[in-house]
Amino acid sequence: MNLFENFKMAMESIVSNKMRSFLTMLGIIIGISSVIAIVSLGQGGQNAITGEFEKIGAATVNIRVNASKAVSSDYITLEDVKQIKEKVESIKYVSPILQKYGMSQTDKKSKMSYLIAGNSDLLYIQNVELLFGRYLNEKEVLEGKPVVVIDEYTARYLYGYTDVVGKEIKIGSRTNMKKASIVGVSKSMSGVFGNMDIENMPGIYYTSLNFLRQIYDRDSGLDNLSIMSTSRMNSESSGWAAVNILESRHNNRGKEIYKAENALAQLEQINKVVGIFTAFIGAVAAISLIVGGIGVMNIMLVSVTERTREIGIRKSIGATTNHILVQFLTESVIISLIGGTLGMILGIIAAFAIGQFAGITPSLSLTAIAVAILFSSAVGIFFGIYPAKKAAKLNPIDALRYE
């Protein structure tokens, strides 16, 4: 018997028992679709995170003060910032960063907010995308003028619309709030976090270091500095050069007060965590494939029992043990392949549906799809071997007597 005849007989058996065949495939369908959806969304999430880091700048290095070792004289000063920018040719932008968690308030609404302060270079270091208005200028930064840039989501929540340039708002701590004029509206950084609830999302404000110090402790030390080098290739060396200048100016060389953190290194760690999490969830989802394989074996055993007399007739007219083996093995593989194909289609649809809701664009891997299809075939072969062997070993005389 040739392959075409085996295929034809297998399809006739599957079609004649539609519901039973579908229920047999269900475990395979669920397993394959889950694995493809999870892997696609996980890869899409990694791509989104990478995209956000590239927006911020792959050439960005953060320099932090080790608070457990530092004394007051070790903290970063504005003169340090000036010297680093002047002396290190590979550094394009440099800004101190002071962040506070506080409040923002209009006449009608209030909102918890992040207040981010620095100099005019912060616009480029954090890649702030302006939708309306402008960023802080040098004069406003130096004089500590009460001006801010607000993110679009916060503007819409507080005012009902986004172009709020020229409006006044109160920002600060619960005990000390100051009025500020809005000079710009920035695009909200929501790319990797999906469609978050605007009401519960903290507002983002950019302002000058000197203005934020008027609200909080004027003498608080600066423990965070961000630099952007001319290219990602020299970002690490730029970071070490900046640390060298800080150690020289503060006379604390060898004490490991300052630590340079490359944004790319942080990205690699985040991607590693996301990858491990995706692999773990995918492995859990793949367990259903084993359950589906057991279902295939179970239904094939039932099929062997139902078709015992047919097997006896075929053997009596010349069918060999291998013919019977291949026939039932073909049927189990076809069931698994159909289930795998349906699972692949359902997995792709599910990935894009969930991605649309979560704000993530799934990344379909042809390798993952190919592995899923091959795995479903392997399931059919592995779990179909025992029923097929059982059918092939039936004694033709006993099979013909079977009622």
Distance of alpha carbon 45 from alpha carbon 278, whole angstroms: 10
3-state secondary structure of 324: helix
Q: Which residues contact 157 (CB under 8 A, 6 or more apart)?
A: 109, 111, 198, 199, 203
Between 86 and 26, the more confident residue is 86
CA atoms lying within 13 Å on the CB side of residue 70:
19
Q: What was the pLDDT predicted at 118?
A: 92
Average pLDDT over residues 299-319: 70
Lowest mean pLDDT among 28-42, 46-60, 88-102, 174-188: 46-60
Q: What was the pLDDT predicted at 192?
A: 41
Q: What is the CA radius of gyration of the chain?
A: 33
* CA distances for 226 relative to 86, 124, 171, 392, angstroms: 15, 11, 24, 72
Cβ atoms of 90 and 237 closer than 8 Å: yes
pLDDT in tens, 291-305: 777 777 777 777 776
Residue with tokens 């990797």: 192
Query: Based on the number of CB atoms within 10 Å of its own CB, is 110 exposed (0-12), middle (13-18) or buried (19 or more)?
Result: middle
Residue with tokens 């457990």: 68
Average pLDDT of the residues of the chain? 80
- Residue 194 above 60 pLDDT? no
Kindly report the number of other CB atoms within 10 A of residue 158's CB atom. 22
Note if the pTM is more than 0.75: no
- Residue 195 above 70 pLDDT? no
Kindly report the number of other CB atoms within 10 A of residue 210's CB atom. 17
**Torsion angle of the four alpha carbons 98, 257, 79, 206, in this order, in degrees rounded to the nearest 10:** -10
Highest mean pLDDT among 58-67, 204-213, 338-347: 204-213
Highest mean pLDDT among 30-34, 49-53, 183-187: 183-187
Q: What was the pLDDT predicted at 311?
A: 67
- Residue 191 above 60 pLDDT? no
CA-based torsion, 98, 162, 199, 356: positive or negative: negative
In eight-state DSSP terms, residue 222 is: B
Distance of alpha carbon 312 from alpha carbon 398, whole angstroms: 8
Q: What was the pLDDT predicted at 166?
A: 94
User: How far, rounded to the nearest angstrom, does the alpha carbon of residue 294 sit from its chain's CA centroid?
Assistant: 33
Token pair recorded at residue 313: 């007739």
Between 392 and 401, the more confident residue is 392
pLDDT in tens, 2-41: 666 767 776 777 777 777 778 777 877 887 888 888 888 8
Q: What was the pLDDT predicted at 398?
A: 57
Number of helices (H) and strands (E) in the chain: give both, helices first: 13, 11
User: How far, rounded to the nearest angstrom, does the alpha carbon of residue 314 sit from its chain's CA centroid?
Assistant: 56
Q: What was the pLDDT predicted at 149?
A: 96
Token pair recorded at residue 99: 């962040």
Kindly report the number of other CB atoms within 10 A of residue 109's CB atom. 13
User: How far, rounded to the nearest angstrom, does the alpha carbon of residue 186 sit from its chain's CA centroid?
Assistant: 24
What is the DSSP code string of 331-382? HHHHHHHHHHHHHHHHHHHHHHHHHHHHT------HHHHHHHHHHHHHHHHH
Q: Which residues contact 150 (CB under 8 A, 6 or more apart)?
A: 104, 164, 169, 182, 184, 185, 186, 203, 204, 205
- Residue 354 above 50 pLDDT? yes
CA atoms lying within 13 Å on the CB side of residue 182:
29
Distance of alpha carbon 103 from alpha carbon 117, whole angstroms: 15
Average pLDDT over residues 196-213: 81
Q: Which residues contact 95 (CB under 8 A, 6 or more apart)?
A: 81, 118, 119, 120, 121, 122, 125, 225, 226
Average pLDDT over residues 46-56: 65
Q: What was the pLDDT predicted at 293?
A: 72
Q: Which of 329, 307, 303 is nearest to 382 (CA)?
A: 329
Distance of alpha carbon 89 from alpha carbon 49, whole angstroms: 30
